[in-house]
Each structure stands twice: as C-alpha cells, then as structure tokens.
Amino acid sequence: MENNKVKNILLVGVGGQGIILASEIMADVFMEAGFDVKKSEVHGMAQRGGSVSTHVRFGSKVFSPLIKEGEADIFIAFEELEALRYLDYLSPQPTILLNEQRLNPPSVSLGNQAYPEKISEILSGRSKHFKSIPGRELALQAGDARAVNIVLLGALCAILSIPEKIWTENILRRFSPKVERVNLEAFRLGRST
C-alpha cells in the first residue's frame, strides 16, 4: 500500500525551544527533495513554556497532516519529560532522538510534583535506534544556546538520505548572514553525533 511509504516525524518539546521553526525547515527540505509534505501543529497561545508537538509527514502522497498513534517513525524530543507524554505515537521500532534537556513544568517548580526519572532508560528500552544528544552543550559550543533546533536538524539529516546541501541551504535561508557560521557549526555538530 502506497501509504506505507509515508514517513512520519513527530517533534515534541516546550514552547520557545524552536520546534516550530525546525519543523518548517524540514518541511521545506522534504518538498525540495521532491516529496509531498504536510505539517501540522497547534499554536493557540502566544505565551512561552507550554507543551508543543508538531507532526511532519512526507512521501509520494500525503493525506492526513496528523500522524496516527503508533506510527511515528522518527521521534525528536527537545525536552525529556515531554518525550514521555507522546509515547503512544511511536511505531514499533522508531528512531528516537532525545535532546538532553530538562525544563521544569510549573508543578515541579512549585515543588508539588517530582520530575520523572530514568527517561533516557525508558526511551532506549523502547527502541534500539535511540540516540541521546547533548543539544544545548553542542549549541553553546557552536556559539549560541538557541541553536539547539539546528543541532537536532543535523542529527536528523544523518539518518535520512537527503543531500546535506538541501538542508544547509534551507537553514541559512531562514536566518540573517550574521549567524551563518554558528548555524553551520551547530548543524555539523548535530550531524556527527
């Protein structure tokens, strides 16, 4: 069935981490690589800090902009706790990219609830294609803590067979030339994780 060829990427994290921008860049990349693409997210409220998830699907023909539960082939978690919230979406053997970053939700900040433990173990037990990425560290190494999303795009590039040039062109197009060097470095560091 043709639908089997559609690849599903689920990105999750916290508002303000650059998830929506990352998903827009990858959607452009897939389109340029010749695929049909759909991307969906909910952005209702303007505040930062809420839970965010974005669905990106590409293939020869894509109908639903939403991924069906149990069918996410690639799972990119920008934040550890948020990764646990979306496990029902994962396919039997997904590729999991986990950014090693914890951001406390309000109930944890207030001391009313504990931040869940052993998230990395839970995820690595869920799939043998699991990679933990020190995104913030690598972004800082590249020169800007905000480039975590570009680091993760680099890591995604490494597991897909789409020419690197398409990725870098689409990343650079989104930013001012001033941060070109930082973004290229962040992408390179992510790609070689």
Partner 1 sequence: MLSGNEAIARGAYESGAKVATAYPGTPSTEILESLSTYAGLHAEWSPNEKVALETGMGAAFGGARALVVMKHVGVNVAADPLFTLSYTGLRGGLVLVTADDPELHSSQNEQDNRNYAKFAKVPMLEPSDSQEAKDFTEMAFDLSEKFDTPVMLRTTTRVSHSKSIVLVGEPAEPTGKPQLVKDPMKFVMLPANARKRHPIVEKRIEELTRFAETFPGNRVEWGESKVGIITSGISYEYAKEVMPEASYLKLGMVYPLPREMIRSFASRVEKLFIVEELDPFIEEQVRAMGIEVTGKNLFPLCGELNPGLVERGLRGLLQVPKEETYKNLPARPPIMCPGCPHRGIFSILSKMKLFVTGDIGCYTLGFLPPLSAIDTCVCMGASIGHAMGLDKALGKEALGKVVAVIGDSTFLHSGITSLLNVVYNKGAVTLIILDNRTTAMTGRQDHPGTGFTLKGEETSRVDLVKLSKALGVKHIKVVDPYQLASTERVIKREVRRPEPSVIISRAPCILSRRERTEQEKSFFVSPEACTGCRTCLRLGCPAIEWVKENGAGPEGKKRKGRASIESFLCTGCTLCAQVCKFGAIKESDGK
d(CA 113, CA 46): 26
164 near partner 1, judged by CB under 8 A: no
Q: Are 7 and 39 in contact (CB under 8 A)?
A: no
Bridge partner residues of 59 (DSSP)? 36
Structure tokens at 139: 């972004």
Binding test (CB under 8 A) with partner 1, winner from 15, 73, 144, 166: 15
Binding test (CB under 8 A) with partner 1, winner from 5, 60, 65, 102: 65
Binding test (CB under 8 A) with partner 1, winner from 4, 34, 44, 177: 44
Task: Point out which span in 100-108, 149-157, 159-167, 176-184 binds partner 1 (CB under 8 A).
Answer: 100-108
Task: Point out which span in 25-33, 129-137, 150-158, 167-175 binds partner 1 (CB under 8 A).
Answer: 25-33
H/E element, 32 = helix 19-32
d(CA 172, CA 8): 24
Q: Are 10 and 94 in contact (CB under 8 A)?
A: no
Note the helical H segments in the chain: 19-32, 80-85, 106-109, 119-126, 135-142, 148-159, 164-174, 180-191
Binding test (CB under 8 A) with partner 1, winner from 5, 60, 66, 181: 66
143 near partner 1, judged by CB under 8 A: no
9 near partner 1, judged by CB under 8 A: no
Binding test (CB under 8 A) with partner 1, winner from 7, 21, 33, 41: 41
50 near partner 1, judged by CB under 8 A: yes
User: How many C-beta atoms surround the C-beta of residue 72 within 10 A?
Assistant: 26
Residue 104 CB, nearest distance to partner 1 (Å)?
6
* C-alpha pair distances (Å), 93 with each of 6, 73, 90, 125: 16, 7, 8, 11
138 near partner 1, judged by CB under 8 A: no
Please report, as ranges, the residues that interact with partner 1 according to CB under 8 A: 1-3, 14-15, 24, 27-28, 31, 36-51, 62-70, 81-82, 84-85, 87-88, 104-111, 113, 115-116, 126
